[in-house]
């Protein structure tokens, strides 16, 4: 692979170490701190001059801090003479605002992409960006990978009983299809509406054949857990044996874990695109495979 070393950002320490271990590439740590007034400090702890570098830094909450750290890392690497800088941003923050839904709104995914390109990053990789169409804003080699095959493979080991895979809204149907293929199972989906002002989520009722079966609900993001809770409650009330949730980016805002547990979720699986309490599934191998396509 045409990469000389991996620079491990503060938000992706575990994933960065897995990438280094799996690829046998040299790893360079990033020293970081927050000044008393809240500003971020970054120091690249190694020689990157003339090197082809993969910088790994996710941007899960606190998004603004992790994004600023990412920008500082990329700019420092360029400034220190790295020959090429590829950015792996396993969770790309601000991607859900991918359009102007109300007049005057900032289209934040485009702002983030413009800033990355202004810093002269040479290539970009992410996982399950909220909408594939957002990738069209890039002018550099950029790849959006799916972590669902890794989640599907993990769930397969759990011996789910007559599993049914469910997407909580139409946007997640392709994820449900991917997981269902990995599990050799059926899939279905629900209809969801979100009030753009209050953020409240409503899911239309559906009667399903789930009695005594395991249901795997899949989504790209779990934020407040309301989307998942609505579906979990419905399938548990219809007699589902276990409710498993496989999500790529477990952001877990507010009291998401309690909300989902109260709704009947038995197990929540997330990936290491977000380093947190449920990041059991690693995307390291998928990322290294993807990297070969853009370097
Ligand atoms: C939105 O369409 C996303 O795919 C997720 O369904 C959403 O972000 C989940 O948010 P929450 O957990 O707050 O319901």
Q: What confidence tens digit (pLDDT) does each residue in 145-157 have?
A: 999 999 999 999 9
Q: Each residue of 210-230: pLDDT tens digit? A: 999 999 999 999 999 999 999
- As a whole-number percent, the residues of the chain with pLDDT over 70 amount to 100
CATH architecture assigned to 5-146+283-291: 3-Layer(aba) Sandwich (3.40)
Closest by Cα among 107, 149, 150 to 130: 107
pLDDT at 79 over 80: yes
Q: Which ligand 1 atom lies nearest to the CA of residue 226?
A: 14
Q: Is the CB of 225 under 6 A from ligand 1?
A: yes
Q: Is the CB of 282 under 6 A from ligand 1?
A: no
**In terms of residues, how long is the chain?**
295
What is the per-residue pLDDT for 199?
84
Q: Is the CB of 230 under 6 A from ligand 1?
A: no
Domain ranges (residues) in the chain: 5-146+283-291, 148-272
Q: CA-CA distances (angstroms) from residue 149 to 110, 154, 175, 281?
A: 28, 9, 9, 10
Instruction: Report, as an integer, the average pLDDT of 10-22.
Output: 98
The rounded distance, in Å, linking the Cα atoms of 113 and 78 is 17
- What is the chain's mean pLDDT, rounded? 97
pLDDT at 205 over 80: yes
pLDDT at 200 over 80: yes
Q: Is the CB of 128 under 6 A from ligand 1?
A: no
The rounded distance, in Å, linking the Cα atoms of 186 and 177 is 8
pLDDT at 1 over 80: no
Q: Measuring from atom 5 of ligand 1, which residue has the nearest CA?
A: 221
Q: Each residue of 126-144: pLDDT tens digit? A: 999 999 999 999 999 999 9
Q: Which of 219, 232, 247 to mutate to test the pocket of ligand 1 (most atoms within 8 A of CB)?
A: 219
CATH architecture assigned to 148-272: 3-Layer(aba) Sandwich (3.40)
Give yes or no on whether 5-146+283-291 and 148-272 have one common fold: yes
């Amino acid at each position: 692979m045409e990469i000389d070393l991996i620079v491990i950002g503060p938000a992706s320490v575990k994933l960065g170490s897995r990438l280094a271990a799996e690829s046998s590439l040299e790893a360079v740590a990033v020293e970081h701190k927050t000044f008393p007034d809240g500003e971020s400090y970054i120091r690249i702890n190694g020689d990157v001059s003339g090197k082809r570098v993969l910088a790994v830094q996710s941007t899960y909450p606190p998004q603004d801090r992790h994004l600023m750290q990412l920008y500082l890392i990329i700019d420092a690497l360029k400034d220190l003479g790295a020959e090429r800088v590829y950015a792996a941003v396993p969770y790309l923050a601000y991607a859900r605002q991918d359009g102007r839904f109300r007049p005057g709104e900032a289209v934040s995914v485009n702002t983030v992409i413009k800033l990355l390109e202004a810093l002269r990053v040479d290539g970009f990789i992410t996982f399950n960006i909220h909408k594939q169409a957002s990738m069209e804003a890039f002018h550099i080699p950029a790849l959006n990978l799916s972590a669902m095959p890794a989640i599907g493979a993990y769930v397969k080991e759990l011996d789910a009983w007559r599993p049914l895979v469910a997407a909580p809204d139409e946007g997640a149907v392709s994820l449900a299809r991917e997981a269902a293929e990995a599990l050799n199972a059926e899939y279905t989906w629900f209809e969801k509406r979100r009030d753009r002002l209050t953020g409240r989520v409503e899911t239309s009722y559906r009667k399903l054949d789930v009695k005594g079966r395991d249901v795997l609900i899949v989504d790209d993001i779990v934020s407040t857990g309301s989307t998942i809770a609505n579906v979990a409650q419905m399938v548990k009330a219809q007699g589902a044996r276990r409710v498993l949730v496989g999500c790529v980016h477990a952001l877990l805002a507010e009291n998401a874990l309690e909300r989902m547990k109260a709704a009947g979720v038995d197990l929540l699986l997330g990936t290491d695109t977000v380093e947190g309490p449920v990041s059991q599934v690693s995307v390291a191998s998928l990322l290294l495979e993807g990297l070969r396509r853009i370097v």
